[in-house]
């Protein structure tokens, strides 16, 4: 479970996030929409404790990320917009390494399973990542997240630049994880995917969360209208 309590962040007096509060429960997929610079990535970075909040709290399973950054990171998995891996290592080696960092060691058969589950073709498993496309790297990222068995998933525009098929597979994976009880926070520009995959939608503007709703309250067209209204 993931909770932002009056979360604020300012850089040298300039507010990037102005007292945002929301909650993502077990099994929810909360999609954050908004223009670039609206504060989506800042919110995610606060949950990762890559930056410290100016005020307010970012809680994961009721634990403050600023107080216990290592413990809260053990509970989350993170996939950035452009997931970078070690180019000189193979997909399996990358997965093995990142899992080991999270304190989980798997036999190679299990690593292969996770990569398969994430949709990476088996021939690519033992190729160096330098030969991978962005979509393939992103799949390794999913495998890393799966292998971590996290309660919380933080996604920062994970499907941008993916082809529709890969994007679709990704959405299916998210749904599967949500059924398993994973709470997901996803920043995205893809309104269609947000409606399709998400359970909740929030719209951010200039550091504020201006709209918050469940996806069964709204359809794609209404969402687009609402979104554009806020952007203008």
Nearer to another protein by C-beta: 101 or 172? 101
Can you give the binding site for another protein, defined by CB under 8 A? 48, 50, 70-74, 76-78, 80, 82-86, 88-89, 93, 97-98, 100-103, 141, 144, 148, 154
- Where do the H-state alpha helices sit in the chain? 40-47, 69-74, 91-101, 108-117, 134-148, 164-179, 191-197, 220-231
**d(C-alpha 126, C-alpha 91), whole Å:** 6
Q: Give kind and range of the element (H or E) at residue 202.
A: strand 200-205
| Min CB(158)–another protein separation in Å | 12
Q: In this complex, which beta carbon is closest to another protein, that of residue 162 or of residue 209?
A: 162
Q: Least separation, in Å, of the C-beta of 149 and another protein?
A: 12
Tokens 């997929």 label which residue? 29
How far is Cα 90 from Cα 129, in angstroms, rounded to an integer?
A: 5
Residue 48 vs 173, nearer CB to another protein: 48
Report in angstroms how near the CB of residue 126 gets to another protein at its nearest.
Answer: 14
Nearer to another protein, 84 or 172 (CB): 84
In the block, which residue shows the tokens 């009721």? 62
Name residue 55's beta-bridge partners.
8
Minimum gap (Å) between residue 35 Cβ and another protein? 20
C-alpha 175 chain-centroid distance: 13
Select 48 or 194, whichever has its Cβ closest to another protein: 48
DSSP 8-state secondary structure symbol assigned to residue 181: T
Asked whether the beta carbons of 139 and 115 are under 8 A apart, the reply is: yes
CB of 70 to another protein, least distance (A): 5
* Selection from 154, 84, 143, 98 nearest residue 119 by Cα: 143
Quick one: 97 or 192, whose CB is closer to another protein? 97
CA 186 – CA 41 distance, rounded (Å) = 10
User: Which strand ranges, in their side-by-side order, compose the sheet holding 14-24?
Assistant: 14-24, 2-11, 55-60, 63-64
CB of residue 66 to another protein, shortest distance in Å: 14
Tracing tokens 């908004």 back to the chain, one arrives at 34
CB of 221 to another protein, least distance (A): 36
Nearer to another protein, 76 or 177 (CB): 76
């Amino acid at each position: 479970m993931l909770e932002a309590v009056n979360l604020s962040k300012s850089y040298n007096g300039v507010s990037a996030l102005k007292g945002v509060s929301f909650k993502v429960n077990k099994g929810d997929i909360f999609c954050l929409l908004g223009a670039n610079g609206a504060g989506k990535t800042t919110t995610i970075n606060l949950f990762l404790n890559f930056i410290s909040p100016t005020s307010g709290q970012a809680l994961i399973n009721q634990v403050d990320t600023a107080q216990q950054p290592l413990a809260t990171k053990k509970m989350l998995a993170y996939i950035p917009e452009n997931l970078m891996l070690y180019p000189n290592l193979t997909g399996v080696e990358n997965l093995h390494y990142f899992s080991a960092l999270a304190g989980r060691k798997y036999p190679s058969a299990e690593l292969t399973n996770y990569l398969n589950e994430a949709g990476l073709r088996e021939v690519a498993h033992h190729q160096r990542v330098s030969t991978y496309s962005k979509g393939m790297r992103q799949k390794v990222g999913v495998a890393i997240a799966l292998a971590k068995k996290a309660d919380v998933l933080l996604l920062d525009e994970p499907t941008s630049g993916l082809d529709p098929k890969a994007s679709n597979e990704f959405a299916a994976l998210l749904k599967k994880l949500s059924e398993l009880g994973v709470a997901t926070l996803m920043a995205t520009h893809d309104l269609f995917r947000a409606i399709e995959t998400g359970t909740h939608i929030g719209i951010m503007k200039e550091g504020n969360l201006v709209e918050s709703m469940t996806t069964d309250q709204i359809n794609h067209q209404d969402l687009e209208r609402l979104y554009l209204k806020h952007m203008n």
